[in-house]
Amino acid sequence: MQKRVVVTGMGVISPIGNSVEEFKQSLKAGVSGVSRISAFDPQGFDVQIAAEVKNFNPADWMDKKDARKMCRFSQFAVAAAFQALEQAGLLAEADAGDGEGPGRKRIGCVPDRAGVVLGNGIGGFEVVTESFHKLFDFGPRRMLPLTVPMMIGNEAAGNISMIYGLKGPALTQVTACASGTDALGQALDLIRAGRCDAVISGGTEACILPFAVGGFQMLKALSSKWNQEPAKASRPFDADRDGFVLGEAAGILILEAEEHARSRGAAILAELAGYGGTADAYHITAPDPSGEGGSRAIKLALADAGLRPEEVQYYNAHGTSTELNDPAETRMIKQAFGDHAYRMKVSSTKSMTGHCIAGGGGIEAVACILAIQEGFFPPTINLDNPDPACDLDYVPHTAQYGAVHAALSASLGFGGHNGVAAFKAYDTPKHA
């Protein structure tokens, strides 16, 4: 029999809250995290808005000496991992540290049997930018000494491994916007294969910088007509959408083999029951308009989880608010769910958080688990004028309430990557 994999902890750093509780309350209230960019002066950019993380102080979650050696995306991941490990009851005693922020801690299980699998799409843009300026203005000797270890995408997984003493695999998944969800699928496989008892997994991203905003702007991917009304800019499935809003976030889950979690008396939040991954093999940025690739990913996730389509109550859509994604994803959902597509709830939490790239898969997995735990469907805000091509129940404007026994989270990335994770309410085995 296949191992069951359960969730015992969650952590969130996001534009709408820097804890799971804040994130949950913002989802229920339909709060927008989009505002004018404060990380740099966006004057002269067509796009002047983003969904930034606010009031983030890395010293709340980590030693200041460690934080100074990390880029922002890695700090987010370590902070969310701290929250998740704390909830899971897996933090051992702390070292003294430097007296400025929590000292280093150790994971409370066999280190060799615990791993990390994180999704990250872009890496440390801020140190790349700074070192390029120093290189071209002053020469290579003025570059930051830690340029390479700070900028590379595997830095977040490596730092979590070192800080918490995890000696199993420390892996990084890079599949653009699908990275966070694909990381969960890879972690699921590690535990099922018996290679790990526990895995810290999810996604992280922080790239609200001139280089990234300018690059996405040149792709015509970002919303540019709502600069004066930022909270209205991210509007998935709405006829007036004009692109996604760039966000930043980290969402982390503690995944454990069921028997491992039960043996230590852990509180089980949900089950990660299945995963499906496919490629469109169609276009470098655009989704296959037929939805075929994404539909197959949904079907694979359902089969892996042992779920029939009609057993799913909630689908957290990729829902980017772009011209091409939203109707293609609607077709994808219909192909996979048939008539049930019209009976279940579908929403895009990106309407509130913006598109957090790899971090999106992480925080959207948390949203699915919260929906199961709390019996609510997060809303799609700003859905004022539904696109006729998008005709499902997208939970417009305000949260709705009802029992959720199974929920899917979908992430679709540049390059045609499709990842879908299936979560279930946890039922204690009858023989337990």
Reply yes or no on whether the pLDDT at 177 is more than 80. Answer: yes
d(CA 422, CA 369): 10
Q: Residue 403: name the closest of 432, 425, 376 by CA.
A: 376
Q: Is 431 a member of any domain?
A: no
Q: How much is the pTM?
A: 0.95
Whether residues 147 and 289 fall in one domain: no
User: To which residue do tokens 């700090």 refer?
Assistant: 75
Whether residues 190 and 281 fall in one domain: no
pLDDT value of residue 143: 81
Whether residues 204 and 280 fall in one domain: no
3-state secondary structure 366-395: HHHHHHHHHCEECCECCCCCECCCCCCCCC
**DSSP assignment letter at 58:** G
Whether residues 237 and 284 fall in one domain: no
Whether residues 243 and 102 fall in one domain: yes
Instruction: Output the six-digit token pair for 22.
Output: 């804040």
Other beta carbons within 10 Å of 139: 9
Whether residues 212 and 291 fall in one domain: no
Q: Is 126 a member of any domain?
A: yes
Q: What is the pLDDT of residues 345-356, one digit of tens each?
A: 999 999 999 999
**CATH value at residue 123:** 3.40.47.10
Q: Is 432 a member of any domain?
A: no
Where in the sequence is the domain holding 92, given as residue range(s)? 5-263
Q: Are 366 and 251 in contact (CB under 8 A)?
A: yes
Of the ranges 52-61, 96-105, 165-174, 379-388, which one carries the lowest mean pLDDT score?
96-105
Whether residues 100 and 233 fall in one domain: yes
Whether residues 96 and 208 fall in one domain: yes
Q: Are 88 and 269 in contact (CB under 8 A)?
A: no
pLDDT value of residue 99: 55
Last residue of a domain, one of 234, 263, 292: 263
- Which distant-in-sequence residues (6+ apart) come within 8 Å of 354 by Cβ? 15, 33, 34, 50, 51, 234, 244, 245, 246, 247
Whether residues 387 and 358 fall in one domain: yes
CA 252, chain centre distance (Å): 8
CB-count exposure of residue 45 (10 Å: 0-12, 13-18, 19+)? middle
Residue type, 332: M
**Could you give the number of structural domains in the chain?**
2
User: Per-residue pLDDT averaged across 212-226, rounded?
Assistant: 95
What positions carry a catalytic annotation? 177, 318, 355
pLDDT value of residue 140: 87
Q: Residue 13: name the closest of 63, 91, 82 by CA.
A: 82
d(CA 176, CA 171): 15
User: What are residue 203's phi and psi, to 5 degrees?
Assistant: -145, 155
Whether residues 159 and 53 fall in one domain: yes
Q: What is the mean pLDDT of the chain?
A: 94
Q: What is the pLDDT of residues 187-207, one digit of tens each?
A: 999 999 999 999 999 999 999
User: What are residue 132's phi and psi, to 5 degrees?
Assistant: -60, -45
Last residue of a domain, one of 217, 241, 263: 263
pLDDT band at 95 (very low <50, low <70, confident <90, very high): low
* Higher-confidence position of 344 and 145: 344
User: To which residue do tokens 């980017």 refer?
Assistant: 320
Q: Residue 249: name the closest of 72, 45, 430, 37 by CA.
A: 72
